[in-house]
A and B are shown apart, each in its own frame.
Chain A
Amino acid sequence: MNDLIIGMAGSGGDGVVSAGESLIAAAAYEGYHAMMTKSFGSQVRGGESSCRVRLSTSRVHNPGGALDVAVALNWDDFLRFGAELPVSGDTVVIYESKTGVAPDALPLIGVTPHEVFAIPIADMAKQATGSDKAKTTIVLGLIAGWFDIARESILRGLKKKFARKGEKLVEANEKAFALGEAYAKEHPLKKPRAMERPVGRDGAKMLTDGNDMCAAASIFAGCEFFGGYPITPSTEIMQFHTRELWKYGGAVLQAEDEIAGIGAALGASFAGRKAMTATSGPGMALKTEIMGLATIAELPLVIVDVQRGGPSTGLPTKAEQSDLYMAAFSAHGDVLRPVLAPTSVADTFDVTVQAFNLAEQFQTPVIMLSDQEIAQRKETVDPIDTSAFTVETRKLPSAAELEQYSRFRMTADGVSPVSHPGMPGGNYQGAGIEHNEAGNPTASGRVHHAMNEKRFRKLAPLQARRDLFHIEGDPNAPLAMIAWGSIAGVCREALDLAKAKALNVKLLVPWLLYPIAEDVYRDFFAGVKAGLVVELSFQGQLYHLLRMYVDVPSCVTSFCRSGANPIQPREVVAKLLQASLALQHPINPIATEA
């Protein structure tokens, strides 16, 4: 087999997440494509935790659906993660025999898996190491034994992981791993499922999550200031910066609140430095006023919103795509702010660099809408050639322009060179109040209109940025999907599945969500006979946003549901198939299928 999904659940101290990390690190080292998501119970410490690791010999676009392997260190914990750890009849179920559950009486409703192993995992761990702490090492041995994956790399990783704690612990874990492996060899699967080796094995991959990738990308893009306030699921961006940004002459301010965080970042931008803040929905709401200030003061600023379920506290640890309206519209006054969204850990690099570049180029706040899944899942990423990226910096006034400097001078493209404190001759008043070209306050309707026009005009080139959109599949296909953020990964896999079913489908993935690039969508809709805008929100916000600006054909509909209800590629394909059949026989598509 070439694609394997492993899910594990246990109590806080069991270390299932740590085991998942060992597994994905080994897979990355071997050259597999891999993705890992984790999920925790509501307790801060000691509650149940789970992880899913998906390994593949080809690109992994999303965490996948039903598990190939389910590991339950105890059933209560496992069952709490129903949505994250779905079990099918083909799932190999491994569980702790101490739980006392009979293999033919698993507490799984409506499914009887073919291969079930009740294993004395804790006892085996004790036998190997004298303690039951090594339970997950036994599990790694079982997985390596049955699925023939990454054996050497897992052992290498365990060695590295436990080396700090002494040679004794390394040996004990090696023993536990061997015990697990031996068990697997003695109890072969009815249907052997050895993983294929990674193709090409073109060297080691990167392994990281979206938040760390975003922070690293911001440093590449020249960020020198981070101001923010801790909020799930964005906090790791600030944490990364508190480790790294100082090294680059930058500074980090963990502010007293969300407003002070963006305020300080805007101050740093006024002072001529590239600056960012990161938050989630509730924090975005608080930052709105200062985003307005950034717009009217025409200062570059990158605002990352790692979306979670809302409104209010909502579902802080689950992804949702329900902040798009807020990103596009939560402004006082006439405001146009670019809104970008990455679709994977890998392209979080590209999109973050784009966000900084657009902010600098157009002297505007730019919102990057990440989401909990991209932000906190670990993904293997092929090495990125950073020399292929350009880094933009804001247009500074020339010596001649400084002779008679006018901060908000009307220019052909609407972008006026911007000075900063410390620059002789560039002195001006930045302000939230409407201002004339020199930067002085005004209440003139004529000037206000002209300045609004300038602030919108300078962003017009965004409409032509086709590089911020990706069309995948046959561009003339009659069946179409549009998806953004983490759901784009679901639709990418749906596209592959649809192709395998000989369906003729195309997929549009926008990085730029707002302003709506009308021509891009108009061209995409041409010739479409049926389509879906697939989103993880109750409303289907992109679908409605599109309808505001583009003549969306009535055959294109919204397929959406609230966060924490993962959309599966197969569901999307089923919808497309249905649409295709309906096109062939609109009255009774099911009969056509039969």
Chain B
Amino acid sequence: MSSIPVERPALQAKDFKSDLKPIWCPGCGDFGVLQAIYRALAGIGRPPHEIAFVSGIGCSSRIPGYTTAYGFNSVHGRALPIAQGIKLARPELLVLVAGGDGDGFSIGGGHVAHAIRRNIDLTYIVMDNQIYGLTKGQLSPTSPRGLKTVTSEYGSLEAPVNPLLYVLAYGASFVAQGTPADMAGLADVIEQAIRHPGFSFVNVQSPCVTFAPEDQQVKAQRGRMKTLASVGHDSTNRLAAMGLAQTYGEVLYTGVLYKDPAPQPTLDALVRERQAKLALEAVPRERILDMFLQK
């Protein structure tokens, strides 16, 4: 993240709220995520026009439109590639990416590993509700085995993807989990994720009030929630983080699972370095064809 210009009036959460009314069902977890993002962005203090907020398709992917940032509600599963293009084109921007579990770990699952290994400086927030809500209740890649839905009449035969283990295994530089059941905690991990230089991932257990079973709802979540601080987790220990991540679907750990204590250079920083180094070799654009002359 580049430094914050100082002479601006402090921004408040409401400065990031757009006039659009969310299409979400009353009680949807995503309302909480949206509030947490407003708070986190106010904490960061970058003005909305310096933020690019990219999403895919799904209920949660509507979220950029409810902020005052530049938003791009793109196509299903492709938020990460688009966001990477934005970040490489304008590294000075704060780039946020958001979407659902289907967007991130099913149709767009192939992109996650590559965004991670590039360690490009963006923050990816997945609103994980273990169900396809927008299309009215089909199985998602994080649906638990046995879940009965309209596409699994007799119960799902497949094991779920574990998003936390997935991103930790590929070497994500920052991994956290939160829930709208703990708004302050969620806003805090999102803000930390944004501040962390490199690829940051926040899994939010954001329940679907309409299609998810009772045991996924906020009320049930409270019984499963454990802050990582309360178990004395060392967030600089990737293996310990992977150990805790194994409990995905049973225990709902909140807080920072992993934060690289010595972050690797980000792709965008390396690109800038290379551009600066090679700029001296550029012939003017109008003379680019000279290289083909047989002299």
Contact = CB atoms under 8 A, between A and B. Distances in A.
Contact of B288 (A216, A264, A433): A216
Contact of B89 (A213, A222, A267, A290): A267
A222 B78 CA distance: 26
A271 B292 contact: no
A319 B87 CA distance: 36
B281 interface: yes
Nearest to A248: B282
A268 B86 contact: yes
Interface in A419-445: 420-433, 440-441
Contacts of A198: none
B64 interface: yes
Contacts, number: 194
Contacts of A248: 279, 282, 285
B286 A430 contact: no
Contacts of B90: 271-273, 420-422
B219 interface: no
A553 B282 CA distance: 52
A585 B27 CA distance: 84
A220 interface: yes
Interface size class of A (residues with CB under 8 A): 35 or more
A251 B271 contact: yes
Interface in B244-295: 271, 274-275, 278-279, 281-282, 285-289, 291-295
A440 B49 CA distance: 17
Nearest to A244: B288
Nearest to A345: B292
Contacts of A349: 289
B69 interface: yes
Interface in A296-341: 297
A421 B86 contact: yes
B293 A204 contact: yes
Contact of A251 (B74, B88, B289): B88
A133 to B, nearest CB: 25
A441 B65 CA distance: 9
A250 B275 contact: yes
Contacts of B48: 427
A224 B78 contact: no
A113 B90 CA distance: 63
Nearest to B287: A386
B259 to A, nearest CB: 25
A206 B293 contact: yes
A261 to B, nearest CB: 8
B85 A266 contact: yes
A421 B70 contact: yes
Nearest to A247: B282
Nearest to A384: B289
Contact of B49 (A216, A257, A426): A426
A427 B288 contact: no
Contacts of A64: none
Given A247-B279, A253-B88, A430 B288 contact: no
A514 to B, nearest CB: 23
Interface in B77-103: 78, 80-90, 92-93
Contacts of B51: 421
B89 A271 contact: yes
A525 interface: no
A267 B83 contact: yes
B72 interface: yes
Contacts of B145: none
Interface in A245-289: 246-251, 253, 255-257, 259-261, 263-273, 275, 289
B114 interface: yes
Contact of A225 (B69, B71, B88, B285): B88
Given A25-B294, A253-B85, A440 B65 contact: yes
Interface in A12-37: 25, 28-29
A426 B93 CA distance: 14
B111 A256 contact: yes
A383 B293 contact: yes
A371 interface: no
A535 interface: no
A293 interface: yes
Contact of B78 (A25, A220, A251, A290): A290
Contacts of A425: 49
A208 interface: yes
Contacts of A394: none
B294 A204 contact: yes
Given A386-B287, A421-B90, A263 B82 contact: yes
A267 B54 CA distance: 9
B166 to A, nearest CB: 15
B73 interface: yes
Contact of B285 (A222, A257, A421): A222
B47 interface: yes
Contacts of B88: 225, 251, 253, 264, 268
A454 interface: no
B4 interface: no
B169 interface: no
A441 B48 CA distance: 20
A269 B278 CA distance: 23
Interface in B140-173: none
Contact of B72 (A216, A260, A431): A431
B240 interface: no
B286 A206 contact: no
Contacts of A297: 72
A270 B111 contact: no
A43 interface: no
Given A273-B89, A289-B75, 10 more contacts: A216-B288, A249-B275, A260-B110, A263-B85, A264-B81, A271-B90, A422-B49, A424-B47, A426-B70, A440-B20
20 contacts: A208-B292, A219-B288, A222-B285, A225-B88, A246-B278, A253-B88, A256-B110, A263-B78, A263-B85, A270-B72, A270-B85, A271-B85, A272-B89, A290-B75, A297-B72, A386-B289, A420-B70, A428-B71, A430-B70, A431-B72
8 pairs of A and B residues whose beta carbons are closest in the complex: A267-B85, A263-B81, A264-B85, A268-B89, A247-B282, A206-B292, A260-B81, A267-B82
Interface of A: 25, 28-29, 204-208, 212-213, 216, 219-220, 222, 224-225, 227, 244, 246-251, 253, 255-257, 259-261, 263-273, 275, 289-290, 292-293, 297, 349, 381, 383-384, 386-387, 420-433, 440-441
